[in-house]
Structure 1
Amino acid sequence: ATTVLMDQAKTVSATFSLNSYSLSVQTGVGGSVSGDGNFSHGALANISATPDIGYSFSGWSGSGIDDNTSAATTVLMDQTKTVGATFSLNSYPLSVLAGVGGSVSGDGNFSHGSLPIIRATPDVGYLFYGWSGDGVTNPLVSSTTVLMEQARSVSATFFQKSYALSVFAGSGGSASGDGNFSHGSFASIEAVADEGHTFTGWTGSGVTDGNALSTTVLMDQNQSVTATFSRNAYTLRVYPGLGGNATGDGNFSHGSFASIEATPYEGYRFNGWSGMGVSEPTAVATSVLMNQDRLVSATFAPLRHLLTLSAESGGSVSGDGNFSHASLAAIEAIPHTGYVFSKWEGSGISDPQSPSTYVLMDQNRSLVASFELKPIGTNLLISHSSPIRGGTTTGGGSYPEDQTASITASPALGYRFTGWTGEGIVDPNLANTSVTMSEDRNLTANFSLNSYDLNLSATNGGSVSGAGRFEHGTSQAIIATPLPGYSFSGWSGQGLLAPSASSTTVSMTEERNVTANFTVNFYDLNLFATSGGSVSGTGRFEHGTS
């Protein structure tokens, strides 16, 4: 406002100028701005905000701003203005994933540029392999960081541990199954025994069934297992047959040679060995190959001696032949008409003065019977034995007319007296009797072989045949037959030729009681498993076991 001096007509003019205002555009952390300057009143000044990397525009502060949330907007300039742009640091999600075999930690939301820690923990039996995904500082380390400059997804991978299995075999067999196996797996192993050996078990840790030929090993570490074996032991039974002794029985390792020896009794000779595996069956001392249970018998035969009889003029003789050692051979001298027996000449004679007597056959013998003329006025008594080997008689000779002569019949071993035949005998049924010598007498003492019962029995597991009643001196055949699942294990009793043979003979010189022995068979049960499983139940079992 002012004044004008009015001293004349005046024209005055008022002039105006448009106001100009300054605009100050400010920025916070995280970005830059533009648009500050001087602007006329009423102008709309353009402003813009540009966030830095990792930041976002949050808004404008100040008056006159057309759109506070827009990074590019205008400001109404009706006065001096100051406006400010604000920015916020970006936040990104971190997803941390785990593959099979472990666990992870570290996921969440993190500011731009931060380095959050991530961790991978393998399960038992697994190892950390590495991280996959962008931004991982060290992908090969289980505990590392991730640079968060955007949303991230990382994964930890794991791999299963692998262990070495060493499978060894002791002496007597072989074993298989070694290799490399994943943690927690069950590796199949198998043992095979050599001939003559038996598997006895596994040593080492992790074996599912230490007694099974085929089993598995838990692979939770490096493992070393060994199959053990033992050499089989077999029983050797050595039986002496009739007439001697035999030694050598016992228990022996597979493949060994067990020594056996036979000793004949006096009057016997060794005849040979019966049974399998004998190295030299005709040798008194030999060996047996022990690759299974064995039964062998030493057999013997009695020595035999030749008895030769001859007669001088005046009679005849009977009773010669071959006889077992130490047996008593009955001999008889028979005078011709007009002669009487005188004596026997030779050794081993029981009674050289008796026409009917015995000879001890412990060697070859040669005997001579001599005779002499019958005295005048006497009658001749001749006594025979029937059969000649059935016994002897006494009383033969020459006697005065009508004299009573005593006669005796003595049966040989295995015989019995059955009666006299002939005339003038007081009691023909008595072995000791008499005869009236009113004339020449020719008498016979009769003998019969004894008979004996052979009783056979069997233990559980078989049957026998051959029992009955048999004459003295018979070699009776007997047979033992095992049932299925059983084996013959020998005879017990006396008089057996070969006690270890299932088919043999018994010498019937007396009553006999003989038993056939049987044993149940045992079998090995071996179980094997293919890949993918294990088995149990191996062992050695009796026949018929379920």
Structure 2
Amino acid sequence: MKKAYVYAVVLLLLIMITGCPAFWKSADATLKKLMYNGVEVPEFSAKKTLYLVVLPAGTTEPPTVTAVSAVEGVNIVITDAETLPGTATVLVTSLNGKESLTYSIFFTVKVEISITADPPNGGEFSGDGEYVYGDLVTIVATPSIHHTFNGWYLDEPEEESFEESGDDPIYTDPIVSFEALNDVSLLVSFNPMEYTFNLVPVPPEGGEVAGGGAVNYGDSLNLSALSNDGYGFAGWWIDGYMFSDQAVDQVSTVEILNHTECITCTEYTIQGRFDPSAPQWQLDVTIESTPVNGGETWGAGVYPYGSYVTVGATPSEHYNFDGWYYGGEELSQGATYTFPANDYYTEGITYTALPLLGAFADIIYSFNAVAEPPEGGTVSGGGTAKYGQTVSFLAAPNESYTFEGWYYGEENMSGSPSFTLDTASFLDTHTLPITSTENSFTFTAKFDLDVPDTITVSLRAEPPEGGQVSGGGKFPKGTSTTISAKPNPGYEFSGWYYESCGSFFSGYPTITLSDLQFDVTLFASFYQP
């Protein structure tokens, strides 16, 4: 009995020290860690052998699986998945060969379905987003008012293998279901509806109307009304709403259909109304541009009583618009100017001429001159000029400098100190740099330091009785010389110093001055210890 107790205690101690007896370890075929691409499998447990891993959308390569066994030395055989979706297996065999476990990881991927509407306001859609491979995707298209569904298209068919069909829609039904097998970018197409607008004059004897017909939603009608004698134009009307008071007007169908009573109709009647009480008066607007080549103008024409006049101007290159004028009086500085025709109506007359002047002004350009470096020389000239004028520049180098050239940015404009710029040629081939202020150009006169061909190396001893120096003299630029300092008896060498400022140059008595470019003046300092 006492021996059995002793054995039990010894066995317990072995378990506490080693963790478990060797014969238990030899039968263990479990894993301590299971990973793919260095990431631990979610919710891993040594006793759980089946796992599902969903990889991010866009993953194309099967992951690499790694494993760590619970017992060191067991046999592990890993077979990675060959495709996506696909299964990777890990076969673990115990040390004694009698136990084995197979861990399986089924890898699948997320599939991204993206949808774009064309036009964006043509309707709404649903069904886009991320899915797990093989899930059922249902996409739904709902056209907005004034639009119809046209079809589902591949947004980038050359990059997709999803039911390739060229320019034809891949689906013609607004509601479609399919399996999520790969990333797909879809375009849901909507068509604007076609509407017919019939124009009628009210009353019929009041005048003539034109500009109706069949047009798509979003397009415009070009309406025109001509009053008969004894009538004045009183506006364009639909379902009791006046949407324009202009006898000649371009009106979007969006504006017109916003005021219709029937939202399901595809055919409407527009009334061009005429009023026998309206004055029979017309404003004849003419436009003259000054200068003639300064720009283009538009808006000239004959306008009836009650209408609005809009005139516009587009300046030519190198011109700015300067204003609208009538009889020498400025009416507006804006390039587009709208005013009531009635501003020029005089009771009792039937016709008024309004000659307008659209004025343009030359753009004034600034041409600035700077020196680089500033101490290299002086510059003059430049200034302001119109397109086609000339600007002169002059550069004068300071002493010890030579003129290198005139530059605009990195472009060499002239190698002569006296330089005349043809602004027309320059402005036709150059644009303002991003860092430049508006209509301002900077030209740089570059100067180079004039280095002599002969370099002088001057040396002396301080104090003179302290020692001897050698190596000084005149040398060709770019060559080298070796200078030496030798103390006299009773003195020791302290160092080489610059003559001009007394600052330290070197502590070695013998040194080589290489690639001489400038004059050098040094003194060797000696001292008595």
Report the TM-score when normalising by structure 1. 0.33
More strand by share: 1
More helix by share: 2
Indicate the structure (1 or 2) with the bigger Cα radius of gyration: 1
Report the TM-score when normalising by structure 2. 0.34
